Amino acid sequence: MKFFYTISFLFYLFFPIMALSQEENLVSLDCEKSYRIQSASSFTYLNCSFLYSGASITQTIYSSDPKSGQLWKFIMVSNGCYRIQSQYSGLYLTCSYTGAITQEKYSYESIGRQLWKVMVDRERNQLLLSVQTRLYLTFFRKRDSTTDTTKEVLLGINIIQPEGSTQKYTPEYQKREERKSTQYWKIISSD
């Protein structure tokens, strides 16, 4: 009988924690394959169009050209962390503490900002999280007030506000369903 009470106690102690957990699961990718990274909101692909370190990453429509800059390798480092390398430039996807998304060459100083976790949430949406900065890769359409044009940018952002909201959200109050699709990605094998 004592065994039954012990098991019951442990069940009631840990079940609510497990049931309410919002943690994402890590995605395992084949390091030998090349992938395209598609935005779930714009349906465009991450594109590395420059060969120099520090260049920004853009997005573009699908191209079947293997030299288009859309192909990426996920290089496993440890514990579900990857470095994401452009097959066009050989440089790595990097997220700065200010949220700037660029490509940089490998160096000891930048290795932490080049580590990414690929996660999938309960709704099967894929997210790319910068390990060191804790920012999610996010796609935005930004209006330039001086030229009155719309620009597409990639940023590292920790929290996305619900559509049309003016209230500031904190991680404690943000609900999973309020995260806009701008942080969702599809990682598609090109092989």
Residue by residue, DSSP assigns 4-47 as: HHHHHHHHHHHHHHHHH--PPEEPP--TTSEEEEEETTT--EEE
- pLDDT at 141 > cutoff 80: no
Does residue 11 sit within a domain?
no
CATH of the domain at 145: 2.80.10.50
Alpha carbons 66 and 41: distance in angstroms, whole number: 24
What's residue 15's pLDDT? Answer: 41
Q: Tell me the whole-structure pTM to 2 decimals.
A: 0.72
Q: What is the band of 24 on the pLDDT scale with cuts at 50, 70, 90? A: low
Does residue 69 sit within a domain?
yes
Q: Which domain holds residue 41?
A: 23-161+168-189
CB 152 within 8 A of CB 96: no
Mean pLDDT value across the chain: 75
Number of domains in the chain: 1
What's residue 144's pLDDT? Answer: 61
- Cα 45 to the center of its chain, rounded Å: 13
Per the listing, tokens 């942080």 go with 183
Does residue 7 sit within a domain?
no
Please give the DSSP secondary-structure letter assigned to residue 191. -
Does residue 9 sit within a domain?
no
Report the alpha-carbon angle 131-133-139, nearest 5.
Answer: 95
Q: What is the band of 17 on the pLDDT scale with cuts at 50, 70, 90? A: very low
Does residue 78 sit within a domain?
yes
Does residue 98 sit within a domain?
yes
CB 129 within 8 A of CB 101: no
Alpha carbons 126 and 191: distance in angstroms, whole number: 20
Q: Nearest Cα to 36, choosing from 190, 191, 152, 181?
A: 190
Does residue 174 sit within a domain?
yes
Share of the chain above pLDDT 90, in %: 25
Does residue 8 sit within a domain?
no
Q: How far is CA 36 from CA 33, 46, 48, 61, 63, in A?
A: 10, 7, 11, 11, 10
- pLDDT at 97 > cutoff 60: yes
- Per-residue pLDDT of 142-176, as tens digits, reads 666 666 655 666 777 765 544 444 444 444 444 44
Q: What is the band of 19 on the pLDDT scale with cuts at 50, 70, 90? A: very low
Alpha carbons 9 and 3: distance in angstroms, whole number: 10
Return phi, psi of residue 162, to 5°: -60, 155
- pLDDT at 133 > cutoff 60: yes
Q: Nearest Cα to 130, choosing from 156, 168, 160?
A: 156
Q: What is the band of 67 on the pLDDT scale with cuts at 50, 70, 90? A: confident
What's residue 50's pLDDT? Answer: 84
Per the listing, tokens 């440890």 go with 78
